[in-house]
Structure 1
């Protein structure tokens, strides 16, 4: 049986980033977790990809530029499973070809000055920007300052640049059709109170899916909360369950969905018997809930690999044209719907 890192994480009941840290001998996992991971590795004779010999068509050093803001990518961004897995996937993909990932963090409030202050390095062959929260003007500013740059986790149709992200529209559209096919008609929507390009596309896709059955979200079933807050009291479930509650809700990301399920269960509300919950992102924490979270899976490793491929194109091909890549998602059906 040939297994991959995702299989090891599932079999050891840990996150993918924990497997990556253990394999690379880095801190961040306990000895007990490390032992559990290597027990699975030994059992299935897992062989990690060997680093390729350094050649003219591999990136020696890649700078990951993280732009912090007051939206999703804040000071604690590495504590959020989606970003942690994305960075781990980039690091693994680059190290497998003998390269090095360097991480630089700057503040969006002082973007131009922060870009000017970035250290120069002759070995840095390109930059991947974690662009989750970036506006159109901020993308253009970075594009004007840096050569060989790929933006991940967002895209703008009117900017001629390299973008790689999940297909947010398709993922949310599929989620809407999935919920409709389960028989739900009174559907609620819990949106982020911080509007970014990804969430805009999810809203459009989900609403378009409902429109195929001539259904729309009623105003009283539309809610807004923080997309990443961990405090349970930040999400007021009584706003949902005490006033003409919907039969099911779509949450704009899994952080919202996991908080909602925990609060509903605490309040004695049966999920999905009394209200169904659907998420988006497929973070590991969604599998630790009772019931486990139905969600939209985002192929993070493929996003990382595609970003590196496009960066290589910029560096090594003289006739390279910028590319916008949307990576398809798929539904993960568990027990919350």
Structure 2
């Protein structure tokens, strides 16, 4: 019997028969078994070579816990996380690894962390820690020892962390607003509190204190961190502030770009122009920050560098024998665009 005959009986191509008989990759196990069975029945047994052992796939896992805080079920479509994931996958590929993605609903934390740990016992893990508490990170790391936590940091845990220098970024924003003449500066906070936002608030208040400015509670506003449209609650807060103080803050720092874009839309509904009436600064420098009008002044987060650092740290730790954990903080860059200007009272003629 010829190879063509085996191919016809097995309903495959002649090339597939050749791959099976020569033990080469390129066909599925079921197809290979069917071809070899037919070949043996036809007297080809002596000419069959054993299949080459499959190479161990090198895989990293990107793990997120969703529906808690700012990390939504479709977090991979949220601008900041979308860019972070893209850079992480590209870096893993350049290192010879494929990237698997897994998300767990926070409601099923205890149950599903066991399943994920069992299924990925041999894989290194990049954990998106944005919305996770210290206790949750510790629990996950105990079950997944080859791990790097991205986008948060808990100093007392002996785990690898890579995070943004949130304090520096917020400090840069406050200094800029002061330097261009603003004194009635407001702060727009997320209604959902995470490590990053708390650090940004500390950095902003620290800068104001150094500049002999204060941030009274009346100029701290609260909004949803994941809404790009007008927020009625923010309109009400601004209106109440105007009624109490006789005007609006001349500038607003927002804890992320989503909040900043929503703030600009809300200001427009109130008849206020950005930056002529109110300057606005965001944080993250997502791609959407240059689509809005005016383009958003923001704090640039080096998302690519965060991803590269996390992947490299994980790969190195998996291949080495060091028992010392590393905590890396990536600095921010102030990015000036068109949503900030000197307040009208001090604008040069």
User: Normalised by the size of structure 2, how large is the TM-score?
Assistant: 0.76
Work out whether residues 278 and 293 of structure 1, in 8 Å CA contact, stay in contact via their aligned partners in 2.
yes
Query: After the TM superposition, which residues 105-124 of structure 1 pair with which residues of structure 2 at under 5 Å, given as runs?
Result: 105-118=103-116, 120=118, 124=122
Q: Are residues 118 and 234 of structure 1, via their aligned partners in 2, closer, same or farther at CA, if it must alter by over 3 Å?
A: farther
SS in 2 for 1:302: helix
* Equivalent residue, structure 2, for 1:327: 330
Deviation, 1:130, is: 0.6
For the 8 Å contact 1:63–1:124, the answer to whether it is kept is: no
SS for the counterpart of 2:231 is helix
Query: In 1, distance between residues paired with 2:152 and 2:310?
Result: 12
| Within-5 A mapping of 1:211-230 | 211-230=209-228
Paired residues for 1:82-231 under 5 Å: 82-118=80-116, 120=118, 124-231=122-229
**Larger helix percent:** 2
Residue number in structure 1 paired with 2:313: 310
Q: Output the CA distance in 2 between the equivalents of 1:127 and 1:136.
A: 17
Larger radius of gyration: 2
SS at match of 2:168: helix
Assess if the C-alpha contact under 8 Å between 1:93 and 1:304 holds in 2. Answer: yes
Q: Is the 8 A contact 2:223 2:231 kept in 1?
A: no
Q: Say if 2:279 and 2:339, in contact at 8 Å, map to a contact too.
A: yes
- Structure-2 residue corresponding to 1:289: 292
Contact 1:235 1:259 (C-alpha < 8 Å) held by counterparts: no
Structure 1 residues 117-126 or 270-279, which shifts more? 117-126
- Alpha-carbon distance between aligned partners in 2 of 1:110 and 1:271, rounded to the nearest angstrom: 43
Number of residue equivalences: 281
Gaps of 5+ in 1: 1-58
Tell me, what secondary structure is at the counterpart of 1:65?
A: strand
List structure 1 segments (4+ residues) > 4 angstroms apart after TM superposition.
119-124
**SS in structure 2 of the partner of residue 232 of structure 1:** coil
1:273 paired residue number: 276
Q: Could you tell me which residue of structure 1 aligns to residue 301 of structure 2? A: 298
Q: Any unmatched runs of 5+ in structure 2?
A: 1-56, 341-349
Contact 2:297 2:337 in 1 (8 A): yes
Tell me the secondary structure at the aligned position of residue 127 of structure 2.
strand
Rounded to whole Å, the distance in 2 between the matches of 1:219 and 1:123 is 48
TM-score normalised per structure 1: 0.79
| Separation in 1, partners of 2:93, 2:217 | 49
Counterpart contact for 1:61–1:123, Cα < 8 Å: no
8 Å CA contact 1:62–1:124 kept in 2: the answer is no
Q: Deviations over 1:86-127 (max 9, x none)?
A: 011111111123321100111223222111112745794300
What is the CA distance between 1:303 and its match in structure 2? 0.3
Distance 1:153 1:137 in 2: 16
